[in-house]
Amino acid sequence: MSPRTYRRVVAVALALLCIIVVSGAAVRLTGSGLGCEDWPNCTSGDFIKISNPNQAIEQINRLFTGLVSVGVIAAVLGALRRKPYRRDLVWWAVGLVLGVLGQIVLGGITVLVDLHPAAVAGHFVLSMVLVTDAVVLLRRSGQEEGPRRPLVGSTDLTLSRVACALIALGMVTGPVVTGAGPHAGDVKAPRFDAAIPDVVRIHSINMWCFLAVLVVLLVRLARSGAPADVLRNGQVLVGVLLVQGGIGYAQYELGIPAWLVLLHIVGATAIVSLTVWFHLCLSDVVPGAAGRPDPVQDTGGDAVTATT
């Protein structure tokens, strides 16, 4: 398999992983989380059953998991057959398979505990880990193998890492809001014992901090003459984040309608993907340096060891 073909395989796997995040959210938002009351069967005697709309929605999401599994297995097999062979790509691809297996098991646990919000939140967090893995694999599959050097100073790299940590925290505080809100996936599902205004405020502060760090980082990058594609990626990320914030405040003011919640989840998936991609673009492979020690680059007094 050629590197170009393999990158297309990875892109398809990433797209499938993003789609299933949205389809899983649709299951919860339509109240279909317990449309199938058993696992892995839909009911105690039937693997597939679509006698009512909720069962049909839950079954479609479960069956789509099979398509996602095919996509990530293709990423592993493609990495093994890719020429030239890259061990790092194999390991990142294997991470996708392990993550999907974890999702299948966690999905079963979520049904068996009657959609406890902690299990539902864990399901979402693991989805974001899988999306992150796939973005890294996509980025690396388009690069040569070898040590990496930073394209920006150490302070800027640190700010980017802080931004990544804040968005990771946001992918936890967000599901806590969901776990205290009205869209449980089933009318009988338990909820977190937390006041929605309080958890919303925590999540909002989290995301405002994320935006502030991004703005500071982009100003520094612009002043230091960072590559145009790096600045463009950062600007796109900030633009999507502003839209996401607008959706978040709108859904709160309008009483958390399901369709806005779905858009918010689409936005969250996009922001995680764009944040990881932006961070990865702050470093690049040293041309022709495969097998050499990681270099140290002098960037105007910011000496940094090459890192991804």
- 202 or 286: which leads in pLDDT: 202
Write the pLDDT tens digit of every residue in 115-146: 899 999 999 999 999 999 999 999 999 988 87
Rounded Cα gap, residues 3 and 173, in angstroms: 38
How many angstroms separate the CA atoms of 213 and 233, rounded? 15
Query: Residues 42-63: pLDDT tens digits?
Result: 666 666 666 667 777 777 877 8
Strands (E) across the chain are located at 148-150, 283-285, 296-299, 302-305
What's the token pair of residue 71?
A: 């996509």
The reported pLDDT for the residue numbered 61 is 79
Letter string b/e over residues 239-260, b meaning 16 or more CB atoms within 10 A of that residue's CB? ebbeebbebbeebbeeebebeb
Report which of residues 298 and 260 the model is more confident about.
Answer: 260
Cα(304)–Cα(278) distance, integer angstroms: 18
Other Cβ atoms less than 10 A from the Cβ of 110: the count is: 26
Count of beta carbons in the 10 Å neighbourhood of residue 216: 14
Over residues 262-269, mean pLDDT = 94
Specify the higher pLDDT residue, 293 or 159: 159
Q: Pick the residue with more confidence: 171 or 110?
A: 171
Q: For 24, phi and psi rounded to 5 degrees? A: -65, -40
pLDDT bucket at 308, cuts 50 / 70 / 90: very low
Q: Does pLDDT of 185 surpass 50?
A: yes
Cis peptide before 190 (omega within 30 of 0): no
In the predicted structure, residue 301 carries a pLDDT above the cut 50: no
Considering only CA atoms, which of 237, 271, 261 is closest in space to residue 167?
A: 271
Query: What does the alpha-carbon distance between residue 176 and residue 195 come to, in Å, rounded to a whole number?
Result: 11
Please give the pLDDT value at position 43.
Answer: 67
What's the pLDDT band for 64 if we cut at 50, 70, 90?
confident
- The residue type of 52 is N
What global pTM score does this model have? Answer: 0.86
What integer best gives the mean pLDDT of the chain?
A: 86
Q: What is the DSSP string of 221-276?
A: HHHTT--HHHHHHHHHHHHHHHHHHHHHHHHHHTT--HHHHHHHHHHHHHHHHHHH
Greatest mean pLDDT among 130-139, 170-179, 224-233: 130-139
Q: How confident is the model at residue 299 (pLDDT cuts 50, 70, 90)?
A: very low
